[in-house]
Each structure stands twice: as structure tokens, then as C-alpha cells.
Structure 1
């Protein structure tokens, strides 16, 4: 399908999928024609068909918009919601059950338990009456200081403890940011593909949600500038885009920061596993390049220490400190004090840096174990685009698009992988399996696990 038909189908699909919403303006004919490298007549023909079928409405000199009166079939929405709910339950099951290749779980077998228990004992014995009061809503002051020192050294930031807000996880951080800053009509842009739980949360709390594709250079900032320039928030994972694990290129970082400054928009940088990099060509955090103070930096200890601790943090632009403090006082109850005290001591005494250094070396070795095993067991079914770091690989299917069926087969053998296509919100998708490697202890273990669904995998993929 070429020419006007391809443009017509693309816009029709985006409108039916809800990516383009009622009343939203579409690019001018000359702008879209130049962007796609086609004649203006080609775009004009596609628009005329969409207008004739009621998907678009021409407003003359004011441009063309998605028909505000367009009513989509409720059955379609119900079907999409049902599929999304099934995927959500599937991901919850993978998170909560034991098995091989679990996603986003640090190497629990190599955690320094003895040191952690020793520090825990010290803080329990040091408990005083004032520790029994309600903890500060912005977080335990020594922990905020320790986090500020850590991100300044390791991620290139330049912040103070007053800019750090402690939260109970990424979803909590995201919700707090939007509660403090967003109105119901603000356009929120999320990367596609993107973290599945993040997508589900945003669908609930962001009425004006849109997506920007991710390619081999990271978030497609040209697409953002062409189609979503008026966004108020961009939420992204530039260190290792989830789940593709590619890094946002330096030119695109500069483009994105320039856009945020010009539009007075906010970039929410989720640096969920930026600590785990295996080459010397590591780009610092996007926030470190943010001279206009438009980046809200979000980090977590779920990927570096343990998910059970439920401690994350936000590094705020200075202009937002008072607003976040006020919002936190109204809507938050703050985290328990003891875990914050233990973590503060773990960081400030140097144990956290030592642990991270050990994990980088360990994860690089374990990634290679899984890669070797995958290539040995399935030499013709998958290919891997190796990235600079992260905690998982994506095994792309060489042929076909049956990643959901394949993932179901593997999960039946306690291989807790997830289909890549399920992380996409739009119609354009890639297909493969997202495979964690952090808790694989040997190449033999990985090989034996991968052989479990061998016959069924070959029967499906051929």
C-alpha cells in the first residue's frame, strides 16, 4: 500500500486506536508532505477521504482536526480494555511467581545480607522517642542528603538534599508529579514501547495521553516536534529505554532539552536502571545536561537493592520544591522511617557504591551466559541487538509475530519472559521475548532452562 492510501490507513488506525483524539489538530498538508517526502496532492487526497468518512473536519485557515463528534464503537474499547487487563494480570503473575529469567529483579543471591542485617540492628537499637512521630513527607533528611550526594557523583547531577523527595516506587513518583503539576487537559506523552505498568497508570490518570515511538536512537524527538510539540509532559527512560534498552542519542537529548525550554514543558526522566552499564561510552543522566531546569529526575532502589523496600525518589527542579512539599502534605502519608534510616546508612557508609560495582561485573557476565545459551539452543529463531547495559535482553523473532503465543508456552515451563509486542501502545510493533538475566547463576542453568520449551518452540516457529 503506497501513496495516499498508506496515509489514509495510518490516520484512520490512529483515530480508531485513540492515539489521535477528538478535536486534536493534525499536521498541515504541506508540513506532512514535506515530512513524508510526498507530493502535497497525495496528502490532500488522503485528508479528503478522511474528511468524507467523518474522521477529520476541515476548519479552513485554522487547519484540520479530528472530528470532535466522532463516536467510536464501545465494543472496540471494551475489547481493548479486556486485552489490556489480561496483559496486566499476566505481568503481575510473572512478577509475583518464582522462575527463570524474571524481569527487573536484582541478583538476590549476591545481596550483602550480613552487612544489611548489621546496619538494621544498629538503627533498631538507636530508636528514640522522636522516631515514633510521623516521618517528614519529603523523606528522612539524612537519606535525602545521601541520595543527593550519590546522584551528583554517579549520574552527573548538581542538586541539593532540598530537591529530593522520597516516594514508595515509580508509579507513586509518577502519580505525585502529575498531581502536583498537571491539569486534566494537559497533554502527556509517553514512549512507545514503554513500561507496561506505567502505561496502565497513565491511562487512568492522564486524560490527554499520547505516544512517541522509540527506535535505535531512542525516543524519536523529530516525531515529537512534528506531531506532539504542544505536550506539557514527556515521560521517558533515556538511559535504557524500556524495554528495548537502547540509549537516547546525544543529538536527540539536546533536541529534547531545547524543546522543553522553548515550550516550558516538563521532561520526566525515569532512570530505573541507569547504574548498570557495561561499556565506557556511558552518557550521563539527561538531568545532568539540563541547564534550563526542565527535567524531573526519578530514581529507584527496587532495581539496585530490593523491590520489597519500596523506596524511590524524585529530584525536583528548584522552582517546584514548595509545590511538591504542599502536595505531599495534602495527599501523602510518608514512608516508614526505619527502612529509610537503614538505606541512608547503607549509602553514606559506602556499601551501596561497592555493591553496584560488584553488580555491574556480575550482570555483564550473566548477560553473556544467557546470550551464549540462547544462541546455542535457538541458533536460527532469535537475534539480539546488544545494548550498553540494563538488566534484560530482547530476543527478537527472526520471522513471524507469534511472541505472545511463544511467551505463553515458555511461561508454562516457569520461564518468566514477556512478549515484546505487549509493551507497544500503537499499531506498529516489533516482536520478541523480553528476558531477564540478573538471577541466572551459570550458563548451564540458562541452557537447561531454555531447553524446557524446545520442542514446542520449534513447532510454533518452525
Structure 2
């Protein structure tokens, strides 16, 4: 099939499959003809047939588009999905769709948009020709300097800009660390329960993966020493173990650091929301106690500013700087420069510190709103073990283990909670719902949302 027929069939197929949607513009005739290397008459003939059959409509000077009134029943092929993949897709849907109690999303209504836009304009106007080259692979130098100053003051570290490596997110950071340091035989330990996406990533890239349970004092270091003494990497979130949000106790912190020093092992500290403590002074990071320089600190701005920016960072032990620089040059590409420039100004001018202070107060209040609402609507079905901070609560079931069924019911009402049990890798599990609170604006809003699945919840759990 050649000429206009090929173009006609291509566009018809794209429209019928749903890839081209009603109202979406198609290229101008002369543009498409130039791209395909055919005569304008060939494209014009194909378009005329599609218009005649009702797939396209011509809007004159506004161009040609898929018929906005076109109604299609697009056939979807049912694909058998493994249980693990279906759970992963479920969490992706919860993360990406609007609704109540979303997890891991900073407050969207209280972000200083005007200040951010002002700094964005300044960064664009200050752009110079030499900045059009490939950005430094370790990150924009002013941003690295700003991050070093921030973590030294706010998280108790003692580092300089040369130790900062800018990445595009948690998964990128973990993968880069393991690419730079790990061999296929190295044992890697992850906390159980642990960050859902982190667990799925490690299952794909680590051959010798094991788990250590988390209890009310955090990662069980005694279990680690008894069963995994020969581990080379421990990946943990000691400020607020995800998703239980418990804090690694001070005795266990020192025990973990001593073990890493003696074994020449590495601790990868994921400090994803360590800024948000409410019941006492903000705890310093585990890295701040790391006299032997065995902790690789991983931070992110997804939880403090916005996930869409995709900027995270690693604080490297000094002995690893050259190795990481070499690895990054070989296997990674630099992040876009402009977002790094905007963020460096946001931090350096003090706006980030001010925003964090405001968010701590706001999140503490919003957490209490959700706790009050949960107690009012479901006084006997759940209990909460209040932790020092974080961005979500865990509502444990007072009885039973039906958290997956319950989560499905709540999700049908756009309550984007997630069952606790699926965060576990082992068979010893606890059951409940992981509930975000950072974007709840009032207690009444929380009450109204929780009442939506009330009848179904009581039918499942009992009154």
C-alpha cells in the first residue's frame, strides 16, 4: 500500500485505536507532506477521504482536527497481569489520579507559586550562551552548594558541595549507587515493610536481596546482625520508616553505624520526609552521626516542593566522589539545567526554609484533622499508633486482615488509600490503610470523604 492509501490507513488506525483523540489537531498538509517526502496532493487526497468518512474535520485557518463529535467504542485487549504487576499499577493509579488522602504528595494549595514563577523568570532572563552546553553530570554547581548548606544546617550533616550528586529521583539515586559500588554477588538488605516502589525496583536489579523487619523502634538491628551479618548494603529510611512512619531509635542507630564500620558495609539512608517532625525537635539525619563515613545519604525535593520537578540528590562519602563522577559520566545524562537553576535560587534566597517551616505547622494541623475525622466516623474499626511526624498515618484494623478488600472499596469513592499488607515482602504482616493527609483542607472535608464508603466498610468490618 503506497501513496494516499498508506496515509489514510495510518490515520484511520490511530483514530480507531484511541491514540488520536476527538478534537486533537493533525499536521497541516504541507507540513506532513514535507515530513513524509510526498506531494501535497497525496496528503490532501488522504485527508479528504478521512473528512468524507467523518474521521477528520477541516476548521479552515485553524487547521484540521479529529472530529470532536466522533464517538468510538475502542476495543481493549484483555491482558493477563501478574498479581505483583497489578498491585504496582494500582499504586501508580492512586499516585497519579485526583482524589482524597493521596500518598506522598506535598501540599499543592499552599505552595508559593508566585515566588516560584518570579524566580523562574529571573533564571530564564539570566541564561547565557555557555549554559546551552551539556550541564555538569554531578549537577549545577550553585545547586550543589545550596543543598550542602541546607543539609548541614537542617539535617545536621557536615559535607561540602563536592559531595553532592544531583539525580532525577529516588529510583535513579538507588540505581546509580548500586551501579557504582555493587557487584552481582553483594547482599543487599531492605526494610520490611518498605517503600513499595523501592521494593519493586530492587527485585529487578538486585540478585541477592533480603529483608529485615521493622518494629516500633524501627529497623530490627538484632535481626540484621543475627541473619545478615555479611550484608554489604542496608537501604533504610530511619527518620520515618516507610510506610509505618516509626523512627529508628537512638540505640539502634548507633548499633547500625558500629556494624557498618566494622563490616566495611554501606548504609543507604533514604531521608524522604525527614523534615516533617511534629512532636519534638527535628531529629538530625543518621548521616550526622556517621563518624566512619559509611552512610550514603539520599534526599529528594519531591516531598518538600513538587514531584513534577524530579530533582533528588545524594550526599557521598568523600572516598566515593571520584567513583561516582566516573560512573555518572559513563551511564547517566545530566538533568535539565533550568529547574536546577530555579531550585538553587529558591534555596539560596531562604524561601525553602520558610516553606518548610510553614509546612510543618500545616501538616501537623492536617494530620490532626484526619485523626479526628477517623475517630468520629469509624471509632471502633481502626486504631492509630501516633508517630513523630511524616506525611501519612496508618489506620490499623482493630480486627481481621481484609485491608486489600477495604482499600478497593474506598478507592471506588476516590479515597486514594493503600492497603498496608502489600508493602510487606515477608509473611509476617500487619493490616490497615495507609492514608495521606497533606492535602486535606478541613476536618469537615475529611469527615465527608470518610463517610462515602461507610455502609460498605461497616458491612465488611462490622459495626
Q: How high is the TM-score relative to the length of structure 1?
A: 0.82
Distance in structure 2 (CA, Å) of the matches to 1:364 and 1:101: 15
Q: How high is the TM-score relative to the length of structure 2?
A: 0.82
Distance in structure 2 (CA, Å) of the matches to 1:264 and 1:420: 34
- Structure 2: 5+ residue runs without aligned partners? 1-80
Question: CA-atom RMSD, angstroms?
Answer: 0.7
Distance in structure 2 (CA, Å) of the matches to 1:353 and 1:282: 13
Match of 2:391 in 1: 391
Match of 1:317 in 2: 317
Match of 1:23 in 2: none
Say whether residues 1:138 and 2:138 are aligned partners.
yes
Say whether residues 1:215 and 2:215 are aligned partners.
yes
Distance in structure 2 (CA, Å) of the matches to 1:167 and 1:302: 12
Distance in structure 1 (CA, Å) of the matches to 2:281 and 2:194: 24
- Aligned residue pairs: how many? 382
Distance in structure 1 (CA, Å) of the matches to 2:313 and 2:281: 26
- Structure 1: 5+ residue runs without aligned partners? 1-80
| Match runs of 1:293-304 below 5 Å | 293-304=293-304
Say whether residues 1:338 and 2:332 are aligned partners.
no
Compute the displacement of 1:281 (Å).
Answer: 4.6
**SS of structure 1 residue aligned to 2:313:** strand
For residues 332-389 of structure 1, the C-alpha deviation after alignment (integer angstroms, 9 at most, x for no partner) is 1110000000000000000000000000000000000000000000000000000000
Say whether residues 1:261 and 2:261 are aligned partners.
yes
**SS of structure 1 residue aligned to 2:82:** helix
Compute the displacement of 1:438 (Å).
Answer: 0.1
| Match runs of 1:31-430 below 5 Å | 82-430=82-430
Compute the displacement of 1:284 (Å).
Answer: 1.1
For residues 185-229 of structure 1, the C-alpha deviation after alignment (integer angstroms, 9 at most, x for no partner) is 100000000000000000010000000000000000000000001
**SS of structure 2 residue aligned to 1:353:** helix
**SS of structure 2 residue aligned to 1:394:** strand
Distance in structure 2 (CA, Å) of the matches to 1:128 and 1:143: 17
**SS of structure 2 residue aligned to 1:110:** coil
Matched-pair contact (CA < 8 Å) for 2:148–2:159: yes
Distance in structure 2 (CA, Å) of the matches to 1:282 and 1:153: 11
Distance in structure 1 (CA, Å) of the matches to 2:84 and 2:313: 28
Larger radius of gyration: 2
Distance in structure 2 (CA, Å) of the matches to 1:230 and 1:444: 52
Compute the displacement of 1:436 (Å).
Answer: 0.1
Distance in structure 1 (CA, Å) of the matches to 2:335 and 2:281: 36
Compute the displacement of 1:83 (Å).
Answer: 1.8
Matched-pair contact (CA < 8 Å) for 2:421–2:432: yes
Matched-pair contact (CA < 8 Å) for 2:276–2:282: no
